A and B are shown apart, each in its own frame.
Chain A
């Protein structure tokens, strides 16, 4: 259905106004607030010891979470795409669970499980290995909320390429691990990269689950998002804007990579 011209323009305006008010104005306002006192101010705010520590911690968490998600995500996607077994439907639903569960609930669940009074509390009490309120807790929370991304991006690609190429490789003498490295992995690479990009974005941006399991000490156990919240609640509003801008810059970079990967994937499919 094509609406009459006046209605068409009205709909366009409404859509643009909606996106403008909800997305562009808030984001633009933060940018403006960050840079209005001058670049010097901005850089001094993002280079305080607490800010550098938060950036390092966020990147460290990404560096741990991404390889783990790839290492477990790809085999899981292979199992889901290539084999039939009882309980596959349940597994599919469980993998989507992190999409449905509120991050705060994830944090609480991790405390119930790994906290010193939790089900696996012996790890901290007897082995002295601190999970909740330490780096492992942040990593576990991040993995929980990012678990589906790699699997959900790789699985449909595996369905699409089918098994023909892998069987062809087998008839040519290729052993299964050779086939994986030479055929399967290159075929799913754009889907996998897309999953990784989504994982990076979500890990950097996660707040709810992380705040529950982090001791939230500036310069020690604060990620970038925790630092933003912390600065804001302590009245250091400008510092919060500056870190927000830093996070947004990362988000924009991720968005650009996402657009490039989308184009690559479309081309690879042709």
Chain B
């Protein structure tokens, strides 16, 4: 698989703040890559540098093998979708989607045909004569996607495309974007601060923090084999079990020491089983969050178990329970990686 986008040694500073700090990064052709990070991590700046909307202080950007570092956004062959839609408010849906084609002076019949096709693809057939103000947020964003796709971009860049939408609409659009990507196959880079969105939609995730890329990998890579504690805690909930970072759903809770051992382990070894007091039980629909206090250290941690398990164990607040971590992610440079049987993540200085 070749790389559609390559960044080499890209730096970008704003006053005394490094938005991008020596970024080396490649996006494989046809992939859907997520740039994931907290606000201020540089992910949007990175996307805007790829688009040409921001110019890096140093480093090079190539798209499809062409050095585009000094090429303006107009001639980069990109499609860009903004968080707040950037709909052309004074134009109808048809004129919005047709904009790039009209700029390219394509014949009218071809423009109309292409616009109708794209609106069909994004599920907005029949909305041609509406204005953006008459559409819902989700519809506006789908229109913006059709508009970006109309010019047959080499790469599609999405800047927090679902960030301004309701939770329900956001989930629908995620699934829809995934299907669209399978259909259209254009190399796509998606910026998001929402780890579940990245895990759900992307086939590759780059985690950014303070202008640096902390880790690049498949969703399972970054989730199960985080390069460092930042990636570990940013990709999902984390519990500290006597100083060892684990995912709350990887903590097994039992009534006696033996029950705290996952049956797949097969043995009755008590190694790693700890006693704790149940402080609070929270029912969150299909899952149950158990907040515990370690008998050994007095530290608080959270376990996440299924509703069925919670009912079978008849857990009550104040009860004593036994817990054991069933899986400890390997984090390079931290002491817990030594006793883990997981593949080691690439070494990374903290």
Listed in ascending order, the chain A residues whose CB lies under 8 Å from chain B are: 164-165, 167-175, 178, 182-183, 186-187, 189, 268, 270
Contact = CB atoms under 8 A, between A and B. Distances in A.
Interface in B92-128: 99-100, 103-104
B51 interface: yes
Interface of B: 51, 53, 72-76, 78-80, 82, 84-90, 99-100, 103-104, 133, 144, 147-148, 150-151
Nearest to A186: B90
Contact of A167 (B80, B103, B104): B80
A174 B103 contact: yes
Nearest to B95: A182
9 contacts: A164-B85, A167-B86, A168-B80, A171-B79, A171-B148, A172-B147, A172-B150, A172-B151, A187-B89
Given A164-B84, A178-B103, A268 B89 contact: yes
Contacts of B74: 170-171, 173-175
Contacts of A173: 74-75, 100, 103-104, 151
A169 B51 contact: no
The SS class assigned to the A binding surface is: helix
Contacts of B147: 168, 172
A172 B148 CA distance: 7
A178 B148 CA distance: 18
A187 B104 CA distance: 22
A270 B133 CA distance: 7
A112 to B, nearest CB: 45
Contacts of B100: 172-174
A169 to B, nearest CB: 7
Given A164-B84, A173-B103, A186-B90, 12 more contacts: A167-B82, A168-B80, A168-B88, A171-B51, A171-B74, A172-B147, A172-B150, A172-B151, A173-B74, A173-B75, A174-B103, A187-B89
Highest count of chain A CB atoms <10 Å: which of B82, B86, B90:
B86
Contacts of A169: 88, 99
B82 A187 contact: no
Nearest to A161: B89
A154 to B, nearest CB: 15
A171 B78 contact: yes
A187 B72 contact: no
Contacts of B104: 173
Contact of B88 (A165, A170, A171): A165
Nearest to A187: B90
A239 B305 CA distance: 93
Given A173-B151, A186-B90, A167 B84 contact: no
B48 to A, nearest CB: 9
A188 to B, nearest CB: 10
A171 B78 CA distance: 6
A171 B147 CA distance: 11
A241 to B, nearest CB: 45
Contacts of A171: 51, 53, 73-74, 76, 78-80, 148
B250 to A, nearest CB: 42
A266 to B, nearest CB: 12
A175 B78 CA distance: 15
Contacts of B79: 171
Given A172-B99, A172-B151, A164 B82 contact: yes
A134 to B, nearest CB: 42
Given A173-B103, A173-B151, A178-B103, A167 B53 contact: yes
Nearest to B82: A164
A193 to B, nearest CB: 14
A45 B79 CA distance: 65
Which 5 pairs of residues, A with B, have the shortest CB-CB distance?
A172-B100, A164-B86, A171-B80, A168-B86, A186-B90
A167 to B, nearest CB: 6
A258 B165 CA distance: 36
Nearest to A175: B74
A168 to B, nearest CB: 4
Contacts of A189: 90
Contacts of B85: 164
A269 B79 CA distance: 26
A147 B43 CA distance: 43
Contacts of A174: 74, 99-100, 103
Nearest to A171: B80
A170 B89 CA distance: 16
A174 B147 CA distance: 13
A165 B53 CA distance: 12
A125 B103 CA distance: 52
B73 to A, nearest CB: 5
Contacts of A165: 86-89
B35 to A, nearest CB: 17
A217 B79 CA distance: 64
A170 B90 contact: no
Contacts of A183: 88
A215 B88 CA distance: 50
A119 B269 CA distance: 101
Which of B51, B89, B151: most chain A CB closer than 10 A? B89
Contacts of B86: 164-165, 167-168
B151 to A, nearest CB: 6
A168 B151 contact: no
B94 to A, nearest CB: 15
Nearest to A169: B99
A169 B151 CA distance: 12
Given A164-B86, A186-B90, A187-B90, A170 B53 contact: yes
B84 to A, nearest CB: 6
